[in-house]
Structure 1
Amino acid sequence: MTTYRIALNFEDGVTRIIDCDEDEKVTEAAFRQRINIPMDCRDGVCGTCKCHAEKGEYELEFYLDEAMTEDEAAEGYVLTCQMMPRSDCVVSVPASSAVCKTGAEKVGAEVIAVERLSETSFGLQLKLDKPIPFLAGQYVNIDVPGSGRHRSYSFSSAPGATEASFLIRNLPGGLMSGWLSNTAQPGARVEVTGPMGAFYLRPVTRPQLWLAGGTGMAPFLSMLEQVAAEGTDQPITLYYAVTRAADLVEMDRVMALADRIGTVNVITILAAEEDAHDRKGFVTDHLSGSDLNGGDVDVYLCGPPPMVEAVRQHLSHAGVTPASFHYEKFNPTEAPAEAAA
């Protein structure tokens, strides 16, 4: 019997990934794994369990039009009590994880290495006690030992492995930055909670425009890993905008993944006047009409709030509405702070 992985994305940003057999309904599989998707009838009659399938193939058994219309079904809505997967799927649940009596998973981890990549960034590698299933682009909360507090960071590694990597901005006086600079050593233990976030890679079915600001490159590294594993014939334009040349970290890895994929165009931009570079200024100074493709493009953006707002205004002034626009803002104290699908 074939078993598929179903990612349940709750409205509070928590994601839980469950196993669902090919002859099993999604609500049944969730209940078996102690997740109570809201439902009343189990028979496709009431519509209480209506969710939205963002990715994957499935079959729907019997349901009444009063519970879900044909138009809704055509738009990807499903009654999970009648949904039987035929591939791995991603399902958005219109309820919080608490309502569904679940929550983000806590996993212990051991520090493998801390690397100072530049004056402004660290690379952190962890060995997880067990893999955390996540969607490329999502983040976790990492506890700062001895502080009783956590900070949030996007995975820069491929989903599904026991070794996880992160790009972390170095903030003078910052809680995590201080621990990484002064205390963290290989073998140190931390606790990781997640995955979370609505910023993750959807099916690549049209041209892609990816915009990374500083350590906002982290989720795109994870996305590149996924696309390299799955393959695509769609063009991907990746802008990597930083302040100084030294901040262009992980470029060897970025270019190696781009070469593997074969359809990725990497464009770097520097903001600092004193550094020589072919492209100076901000992302919005360099976006072209071909990048936006008349709106037939999926836009993914991860960076500081001013960058996110500048890109949103640029799209508005250009009169372009992308087919989809996914962004994540990160703030200095606890990134990422806001995401939108």
Structure 2
Amino acid sequence: MSHQIALSFEDGVTRFVECRSGDTVADAAYRAGINIPLDCRDGACGTCKGFCESGRYDGGSYIDEALSDAEAAEGYVLACQMRPQSDCVVRIAATSDVCKTGAATHKGRVSAIERLSETAVAFSITLADRAALGFLPGQYVNIRVPGTDQRRSYSFSSGPNAAAVSFLLRNTTAGLLPTWLRERAEVGAEIDFNGPLGSFYLREIKRPLLFLAGGTGLAPFLAMLETIAAQGSAHPIHLIYGVTSDADLVEVDKLEAAAARIANFTFACCVADPASAYPRQGYVTRYIEAGHLYDGDVDVYLCGPPPMVDAVRQHMQTHGIEPANFYFEKFATSGLVTAISESHGGRP
């Protein structure tokens, strides 16, 4: 029996490798041409130390100088000793370049274009080799705008097991990809992207979750919810989705479908425009309640435009909110990611 291991590198590149029964992570990586740094294969040097974010494994044998008992209890592993017993996500303490690898290129054709409103558009790609693409829910790719050498970054809005991969974009007049979709794209058009990329992705669920989405920053959460619906969760999950205007409020039907499939998932939407007729007006911070925070025993995921992300972070600092873990990602309206996620709090 084999398992899929997601290797997450320091520069945001993620590569998936197949780990055969009895193999170590280092064995699987080297077989795929990925050179995880190591100076021994005996658990003695600690050079290949990483962190397992999810999955079951046998940590193997090693000396305390390479990996202490305290580190092992937190989830740190040695790639030369770790033998997976399920699919796993492992953070590698090196860049993809150092490991002689990089983001993969995937090619396909546009299979659907849906104009959700005057300000939002969704589209899907059917890949030439769907089995070759693995990604973690929440990650993004760099899509090449057809007819140009320009690439723009967009998060998957579909789950990792969807037959076609989908994306949610703000339909701006200045954005290269939205302009192409609006003016020239047709179903069947060839398109390619590099990835997956990014450290903003769903970790193993160990406590309640609070999702905060701004505008098309909803996309990675739709992918996360697809995964949670398939796997289940023993912990409550609440999402607050904020937009600027009524026209920006899209894909609510998918949130309703997720709520029907996930027993402990709830959500609330809000519109900042004071002229909106929507029942909840104002910004996301207005609707963060004490009950969503579990006295800090909560993991917070935040994705939206820079002003919204900065406002939420300032709100939390001002009110002394210290979640167990805080992951966030900013994006520009052009589709360029301007900051990757960070984790604060650090509870495993």
Question: By the TM > 0.5 criterion, same fold?
Answer: yes
Q: Which residue of 2 aligns with 1:64?
A: 63
Q: CA deviation at 1:266?
A: 1.1
TM-score with structure 2 setting the length? 0.96
**Alpha-carbon distance in 2 for matches of 1:169, 1:334:** 8
Does structure 2 retain, via aligned residues, the 8 Å contact 1:107–1:192? yes
Q: Which residue of 1 aligns with 2:157?
A: 156
**Alpha-carbon distance in 2 for matches of 1:176, 1:61:** 48
Alignment of 1:168-247 (within 5 A): 168-247=169-248
Does structure 1 retain, via aligned residues, the 8 Å contact 2:240–2:287? no
**Alpha-carbon distance in 2 for matches of 1:208, 1:28:** 35
Does structure 2 retain, via aligned residues, the 8 Å contact 1:224–1:258? no
Alignment of 1:1-341 (within 5 A): 2-131=1-130, 132-341=133-342
**Alpha-carbon distance in 2 for matches of 1:260, 1:194:** 29
Does structure 2 retain, via aligned residues, the 8 Å contact 1:134–1:160? no
Does structure 1 retain, via aligned residues, the 8 Å contact 2:142–2:152? yes
Does structure 1 retain, via aligned residues, the 8 Å contact 2:175–2:335? no
Equivalent AA in structure 2 for residue 79 of structure 1: L
Moved over 6 A (4+): none
Q: CA deviation at 1:220?
A: 0.4
**Alpha-carbon distance in 2 for matches of 1:70, 1:93:** 19
Q: What SS does structure 2 have at the residue aligned with 1:254? A: helix
**Alpha-carbon distance in 2 for matches of 1:142, 1:279:** 35
Give a deviation string over 1:26-80, Cα, whole Å, max 9, x none: 1011000110000011111111100111111111222111111111111111111
Q: What SS does structure 1 have at the residue aligned with 2:293? A: helix
**Alpha-carbon distance in 2 for matches of 1:160, 1:99:** 30
Unaligned stretches of 5+ residues in structure 2: 343-348
Q: What SS does structure 2 have at the residue aligned with 1:257? A: helix
**Alpha-carbon distance in 1 for matches of 2:61, 2:207:** 33
Q: CA deviation at 1:335?
A: 3.0
The count of aligned residue pairs is 340
Identity among equivalent positions (%) equals 52
CA RMSD of aligned residues (A): 1.0
**Alpha-carbon distance in 1 for matches of 2:15, 2:338:** 20
Give a deviation string over 1:252-271, Cα, whole Å, max 9, x none: 12111111011111100001
Q: CA deviation at 1:277?
A: 2.0
Unaligned stretches of 5+ residues in structure 1: none
**Alpha-carbon distance in 1 for matches of 2:316, 2:104:** 37
Q: What SS does structure 1 have at the residue aligned with 2:268? A: strand
**Alpha-carbon distance in 1 for matches of 2:32, 2:113:** 35
**Alpha-carbon distance in 2 for matches of 1:225, 1:161:** 9
TM-score with structure 1 setting the length? 0.98
Q: CA deviation at 1:129?
A: 1.3
